[in-house]
Structure 1
Amino acid sequence: MPVIKILPHAELCPQGDEIEAPAGTSICEALVENGIALEHACEMSCACTTCHVVVKQGLSSLGEIDEIEEDLLDKAWGLTPSSRLACQAILSDADVLIEIPKYTINHARERH
């Protein structure tokens, strides 16, 4: 089972974290199921950018990025060449290292 290593985030996981999730799971699903309250205002339907993450290691192991995700990412805060929407980044058998950006474009954070 792949491991998702999460770099420290002041609000969501101050010490960082490591979680295991089955291949075929999205990064967003894995984080939320393991108590890391990553925003996902569109309920993981690829309609916003609130679940934006930066993949520091393992980017090439994730499922292919499609045109809709690429277009949405243009609106994400802190966009990098290794940015993905966590709801669309599907795990394979490889481990990944991610950073959750400090901000999102969402002005009102909902508690899921």
Structure 2
Amino acid sequence: MPNIIFYPQKFILPKGLSVKGKTGETILDIALSNKIKMEHACEKSCACCTCHCIIRKGFYSLSKCKEKEEDLLDKAWGLEKFSRLGCQARLGTEDIEVEIPMYNVNYVSE
């Protein structure tokens, strides 16, 4: 079982968190099951970019990024080279480190 380290985030996770995950689980499902209130306005259907996260370690062990996810990531606030959508990125066998950006683009709440 890989370790997932969620970096501290001022609003939803001030102290950060290290948890275990199962290969094949999404980053978003792991966050939610560990009471991390990661936004997901489209209810995990890959239709928005509110669950955007940045993979600081272990990026290449995650599932491949599909074209639909890549298109949505272009709209994400603070996009970086190792950005993924938490609802689409599935764990491989290696440990990962995840940063949840301070802000996101949520057209529902704006």
TM range (shorter): over 0.9
Instruction: Give the number of aligned pairs.
Output: 109
Rounded to whole Å, the distance in 1 between the matches of 2:49 and 2:56 is 18
Please report how far the alpha carbon of residue 19 of structure 1 lies from its aligned counterpart in structure 2 after TM superposition: 1.0
In the other structure, the counterpart of 1:50 is 50
Q: Which runs of 5 or more residues in structure 1 are unaligned?
A: none
Provide the identity percentage. 46
TM-score (norm 2): 0.96
Please report how far the alpha carbon of residue 65 of structure 1 lies from its aligned counterpart in structure 2 after TM superposition: 0.3
Please report how far the alpha carbon of residue 106 of structure 1 lies from its aligned counterpart in structure 2 after TM superposition: 1.1
1:90 aligns with 2:87: no
In the other structure, the counterpart of 2:99 is 99
- State the SS of the aligned residue for 1:69: helix
Rounded to whole Å, the distance in 1 between the matches of 2:40 and 2:54 is 15
- State the SS of the aligned residue for 2:53: strand
In the other structure, the counterpart of 1:17 is 17
User: Which letter maps to 1:83?
Assistant: S
Please report how far the alpha carbon of residue 51 of structure 1 lies from its aligned counterpart in structure 2 after TM superposition: 0.2
User: Which letter maps to 1:64?
Assistant: K
Q: Which runs of 5 or more residues in structure 2 are unaligned?
A: none
Could you list the structure 1 runs, at least 4 aligned residues long, displaced by more than 3 angstroms after superposition. Answer: none
User: Which letter maps to 2:5?
Assistant: K
Rounded to whole Å, the distance in 2 between the matches of 1:49 and 1:79 is 10
In the other structure, the counterpart of 2:68 is 68
TM-score (norm 1): 0.94
RMSD: 1.0
